[in-house]
Amino acid sequence: MKLKINKYLLPLYVLSFCLFLYLPIMILMMYSFNEGGFPAEWQGLSLRWYYDLFESVEIWRAFKNSLIVAVGSACLSLSMGLMLVCGAKQLKKNIVFFFFSNILIPDIVIAVGMLSLFSYFMVPLGLITLVIGHTLLGLGFTIPVLKSRLDELDYRLVEASYDLGASSLYTFRYVILPFLYPAIVVSALMVLIVSFDDFVIAFFCSGSSAQTLSLYVFTMIRLGISPTVNALSTIMLLVSSFFILAISILQARLANYE
């Protein structure tokens, strides 16, 4: 009897746990297809909020801003992270710990600190300050991922490349980079997601000119429930879960190679 409880209790618990995690999102998605304006009543299936969404100029502008910031900070944090990881490998000292603080320090402290520093030096707030902040967050994600991958590289391969007369740039291009490739894709996707999702740094460091998607959603929520936000949230959810699927497939493949 006791064995039977053990056998079914845990999967059942995990299922209800997942249900708890997903229930609010499911309901949100359901109401984005609701015909009626006020979301409490179900009035039949329609796509009218999605039409509204694609016609809104404000949302497209916010999306464009978010895209610029996300791609810019992904490129910057990825290139700096790559350089740092390779440099740290040569230095043979563990300096990577310095960058763990980016995730551990709550983003409100970073945001407020940057806001006051920028205004002290009269730096105008806008997309550039936003890219700066998100690059900082991105460094905290890219560097651990890249470092753990680089640590797995058999260093004899690099030495062999040097022995056979390759320059350091050539070695980087044809030995190190292909090996790091999956980790680079994973960390780039992570930075993209983090930048798209970040609200606090955008709230403090973007000024009034640059509205991102998260800021738009925040102001809309402040105004109350609107089905357009449901439609927008549904699309954002689908896109980021697609990205996460790509990340997990890549990571599973990384684990299988070992």
Q: Which residues contact 132 (CB under 8 A, 6 or more apart)?
A: 114, 205
What's the CA angle centered on 137, arms 68 and 154, to 5 degrees? Answer: 105
Our CB check for another protein shows the closer of 179 and 203 to be 203
State which of positions 227-246 bind another protein (CB under 8 A). 229, 233, 236-237, 240-241, 243-245
Q: Long-range contacts: 112-117, Cβ < 8 Å, 24+?
A: 112/204, 114/201, 114/204, 114/205, 115/204, 115/205
| Of positions 196, 211, 212, 231, contacts another protein by CB under 8 A | 196
**DSSP classification of residue 165:** T
Query: Tokens 């998605």 identify what position?
Result: 29
| Of positions 127, 128, 185, 200, contacts another protein by CB under 8 A | 200
Our CB check for another protein shows the closer of 86 and 166 to be 86
Point out which span in 57-65, 146-154, 174-182, 219-227 binds another protein (CB under 8 A): 219-227
Convert residues 27-46 into a mask of x (bound to another protein by CB under 8 A) and - (unbound). xx--x-------xx------
| Of positions 62, 115, 183, 210, contacts another protein by CB under 8 A | 115
Q: Does 25 bind another protein (CB under 8 A)?
A: yes
Q: How many residues bind another protein (CB under 8 A)?
A: 80
Q: How is residue 209 written in tokens? A: 């000119």
State which of positions 49-88 bind another protein (CB under 8 A). 80-81, 83-84, 86-88
Handedness of CA 55, 218, 202, 246 (dihedral sign): negative
